[in-house]
Amino acid sequence: MTDPTPHAALRGAVDLSSLVQRSQQPAGAAPAAAPDGRVVFATDDQGFAAALELSRTVPVVVAVWGSWSEPSVELVASLERLVRAREGRLVLATADADRSPQLVQAFQVQSVPTVVAVVAGQPVPLFAGIQPDEVIEQVFDQLLELASQHGVTGTVEATDGAGDPDAAPQAPEEPPLPPLHQEAYEAIEGGDFAAAAAAYKKAIAQDPRDQMAVAGLAQANLLGRLNGKTLEAIRNAAASNPEDLSAQLDVADLDLSGGHVDDAFDRLLSVFPKLDADQKKLVRERLVELFEVVGTEDPRVAVARRRLTNLLF
């Protein structure tokens, strides 16, 4: 069973794993209905974009469950009750594992029920299996504290099933993004990662201190590299060609996109001493970019940066 303690570090731009998976879906897929107002709603692979956007305002608890699983049904009922008691400070998205294979893959779900959260677009593992109410309450307390640390402190109106039962979850209005950031965001939503990167480059040219554009460019580049590739193909290529640096770089991208930050950094830092000068330059540049994706203030980045410095000097 997963230790029910939210991870402490997030990056607040996009949920990379979800966007990578969603970018491979057919265009025009209809979003899942939200059957219970704004606080509890169903989601799936096609409808997760609404939950992702909502997570920028309020933490989204995601329960990956199976209708055939009695523990799943029991846990979802408990989660609904406990989320409602938070009066809009949390929302619950329920995802049927059979209808949501890409979410199952993105969240690394090994069994149902599994509960994760999304805060500012980033996944936060919570727990798997049945948990008593008092443990779930503690997890929710820690999740709200973590969200507060990252500026996600909004609420949504708790309708408790009132109003339009088919209404999708709506985030409160937020200030508009700067024009180039909005252009990049829309390009990412449309799966055009090259256009997103170009917009972020323009933003950086206008203001080299625009750190969100720097991070956004790194994320757009990562999404572009992964676009059209499958998890199986990436891992099989790396396993069959352990000396192929390109294959190892792809796996590092994949690991980081799925939230396995330490694995991504360790893979590149472990191969680094065996490389020639040109390859070392390539890996160093890739690591610096991945540091931006995760967030340069993240303690995992600090550890990896020290390790890279020791290898360089």
The tens place of each residue's pLDDT in the chain, 313 residues long, gives 445 655 444 433 334 344 334 434 433 333 333 334 479 999 988 888 888 888 889 999 999 998 878 888 899 999 999 999 998 999 999 998 888 888 888 888 888 899 999 998 889 999 988 899 999 999 999 999 999 888 899 888 765 444 443 444 343 444 577 899 889 888 887 889 999 999 999 999 999 988 888 988 998 999 899 988 888 899 999 899 889 999 999 999 988 887 788 999 999 999 999 999 999 999 999 999 999 888 777 788 899 999 999 998 8
Give the global pTM: 0.50
* Residue 23 DSSP class: T
Starting from the edge strand earliest in sequence, which strands make up the sheet with 91-96, in order? 40-43, 91-96, 60-65, 114-119, 122-128
Residues 258 and 261: their CA atoms lie apart, in Å, by 8
Residues 220 and 140: their CA atoms lie apart, in Å, by 31
Query: Pairing between strand 114-119 and 60-65?
Result: antiparallel
Residues 135 and 138: their CA atoms lie apart, in Å, by 5
* CATH of segment(s) 179-312: 1.25.40
Domain ranges of the chain: 16-149, 179-312
Name the CATH superfamily, with its identifier, for domain 16-149.
Answer: Glutaredoxin (3.40.30.10)
Query: Pairing between strand 40-43 and 91-96?
Result: parallel
| 8 Å CB contact between 145 and 7 | no
End-to-end CA distance of the chain: 41
